């Protein structure tokens, strides 16, 4: 058993699993909520920035995977039971989403419908956990899931299109994208003329993240986006430069064909900079 967890937490997880196995998901929720509060309260003050609610819920899902003896069907059943029991705006819903991601690491084709539904949720909580959870599926099954992400990028639902970009941000489990950017760009390129602000912002943010490790590649992409002479592509190009402009302000201004660049409280001008 994983020594990161106390005996009490392990017992609570086993109790939750017993309820779920008996089809009593409603009785598992209070125990789940109690564990979430306990784990969150135990985070040292110095680690509050790096360890928040998402970290807590990932820890709980990891513990449930262990007490399930890593039996994939048990993990899937527990995830679906909890997901159907929790309200969409309940932060605890991250636990079943992460359980379904664990199952999807081994059987990706069986969780596409679940994640497409979660990605299209009207509640932002579910959408954020869907994107974070699917990171693990991509990391484990990158070749198999790429077509699914392309399908999501072509969805009629802007929430699902946004998922295809957001879950490919080169962070945590997907830092390898910084060295293999063609993987994500195959999907992102389908959104380079995105007109809806929700997925469009995610695409710009994604490219901005990538620019931290691949500045020349992103400069090249910005040039291509501007050349499309499409207002949405131009917007994405501008957003993609929000990190590049810190080190290369004149180059960014020249590439975008503008005399000033503004992002939050940072302001850059052709002849001077105000930060």
Flag whether pLDDT at 231 surpasses 50.
yes
Any idea where the domains of the chain sit in the sequence? 192-275
Q: What is the reported pLDDT for 46?
A: 79
Confidence band of 270 (pLDDT split at 50, 70, 90)? confident
Q: What is the reported pLDDT for 45?
A: 80
Flag whether pLDDT at 104 surpasses 90.
yes
Spell out a b/e string for 228-240, using b for 16 or more CB atoms within 10 Å of the CB, else e. Answer: eebebbbbbbbbb
Tokens encoding 18: 């017993």
**CA nearest neighbour of 64 among 35, 105, 42, 85:** 35
Q: What is the 3-state secondary structure (H, E, C) of 214-255?
A: CHHHHHHHHHHHHHCCCHHHHHHHHHHCCCHHHHCHHHHHHH
Q: What is the reported pLDDT for 1?
A: 42
pLDDT digits (tens, 9 = 90+) for 3-46: 478 899 999 999 999 999 999 999 999 999 999 999 988 888 87
Tokens encoding 33: 């909520």
pLDDT digits (tens, 9 = 90+) for 154-204: 999 999 999 999 999 998 889 999 999 999 999 999 999 999 999 999 999
Q: What is the reported pLDDT for 273?
A: 55
Q: What is the reported pLDDT for 2?
A: 46
Rounded mean pLDDT, 247-262: 95
């Amino acid at each position: 058993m994983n020594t990161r967890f106390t005996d009490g937490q392990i017992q609570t997880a086993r109790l939750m699993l017993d309820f779920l196995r008996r089809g009593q998901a409603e009785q598992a929720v209070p125990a789940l909520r109690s564990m979430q509060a306990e784990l969150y309260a135990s985070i040292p003050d110095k680690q509050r920035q790096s360890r928040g609610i998402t970290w807590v819920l990932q820890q709980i899902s990891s513990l449930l995977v262990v007490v399930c003896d890593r039996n994939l069907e048990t993990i899937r059943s527990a995830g679906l039971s909890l997901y159907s029991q929790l309200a969409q705006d309940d932060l605890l819903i991250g636990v079943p989403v992460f359980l379904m991601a664990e199952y999807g690491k081994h059987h990706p084709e069986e969780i596409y419908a679940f994640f497409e539904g979660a990605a299209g949720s009207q509640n932002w909580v579910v959408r954020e956990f869907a994107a974070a959870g699917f990171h693990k599926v991509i990391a484990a099954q990158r070749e198999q899931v790429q077509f699914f992400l392309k399908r999501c990028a072509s969805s009629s639902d802007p929430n699902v299109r946004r998922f295809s970009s957001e879950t490919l941000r080169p962070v945590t489990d997907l830092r390898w994208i910084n060295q293999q950017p063609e993987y994500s760009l195959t999907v992102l390129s389908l959104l380079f003329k995105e007109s809806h602000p929700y997925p469009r912002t995610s695409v710009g943010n994604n490219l901005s993240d990538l620019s931290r490790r691949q500045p020349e590649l992103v400069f090249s992409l910005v040039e291509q986006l501007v050349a499309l002479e499409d207002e949405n592509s131009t917007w994405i190009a501008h957003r993609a430069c929000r990190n590049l402009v810190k080190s290369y302000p004149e180059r960014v201004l020249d590439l975008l064909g503008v005399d000033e660049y503004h992002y939050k409280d940072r302001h850059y001008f052709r002849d001077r900079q105000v930060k």
